[in-house]
Structure 1
Amino acid sequence: MTHHSDTMQACLDACLHCYRTCLGMASNHCLEVGGRHVEPEHFRLMLACAEACRASAQLMLIGSPVHRHQCGACAEICAACARSCEEVGGMEACVAACRSCAEQCRAMAA
């Protein structure tokens, strides 16, 4: 396995984990808890983060050369989502998944 494929596999794993975590937390935690968890800006950001992660994973899986651009955008969205989830509170799993994905996507986009 080459270094490139190790890097891509790590990014792919981080994207899929973040996708599952954000979508799951939005659907099963935020909607149940309510309050700040369902404020439009926060909730939309969580859904955007999940979708950016899914799209990044898909582009890597199909071998599209534009995956680096998507990963760059995904890193920004994940970083913003991590900040938002941290501010809302009680979302440590999401914060951790977003930070990890942002880091892996930054490396992939470089």
Structure 2
Amino acid sequence: MSTATASKQECIQNCQECQTTCANKLTSHCLVEGGKHVEQTHVKLMLDCIAACSACVDFMSRNSDHHAQYCQACAEICKACADSCEKVGGMDECVECCRKCHESCSAMAA
């Protein structure tokens, strides 16, 4: 397996983990906690992150020539989501997976 293929596989896995973790945290933690966890800006960022990760998985899985553009957008969204989750607090799992996804998507976009 080439380094590029290995990197793409790792990025796909990171995006899938981020998508699943954020969706789970949003529904099982944020909606239960309420308050700043359900503020519009935070919830929208989490939904954007979930959607961006899903799109990246789709584009990379089918070896689209346009996956780098999606990875660039996903990297930016994941960074913003990680920052928001960190600010809200109690969301370390989301912060960690979003930062990991940001790093791998940034590498794919380069």
TM over 0.5: yes
Quote how far apart the aligned CAs of 1:62 are.
1.3
Match of 1:86 in 2: 86
Q: Distance in 1 between matches of 2:16 and 2:75?
A: 13
Q: Percent identity?
A: 49
Q: Distance in 2 between matches of 1:97 and 1:50?
A: 12
TM superposition score normalised by structure 2: 0.98
Q: Does 1:58 align with 2:58?
A: yes
Quote how far apart the aligned CAs of 1:51 are.
0.5
The 5 A counterparts of 1:24-43 are 24-43=24-43
Q: Distance in 1 between matches of 2:34 and 2:59?
A: 33
- Equivalent AA in structure 2 for residue 41 of structure 1: T
Q: Distance in 1 between matches of 2:32 and 2:65?
A: 39
Runs of 4+ in structure 1 deviating by more than 3 angstroms, as ranges, are none
Q: Distance in 1 between matches of 2:23 and 2:59?
A: 19
SS at match of 1:19: helix
Q: Distance in 2 between matches of 1:18 and 1:102?
A: 10
Q: Does 1:49 align with 2:49?
A: yes
Quote how far apart the aligned CAs of 1:63 are.
1.4
Q: Deviations over 1:42-94 (max 9, x none)?
A: 00100100100010001111111111100000000000000000000000000
Deviates more, 1:89-98 or 1:26-35: 26-35
Match of 1:101 in 2: 101
SS at match of 1:90: coil
Quote how far apart the aligned CAs of 1:27 are.
1.1
Aligned CA-pair RMSD: 0.5
Match of 1:76 in 2: 76
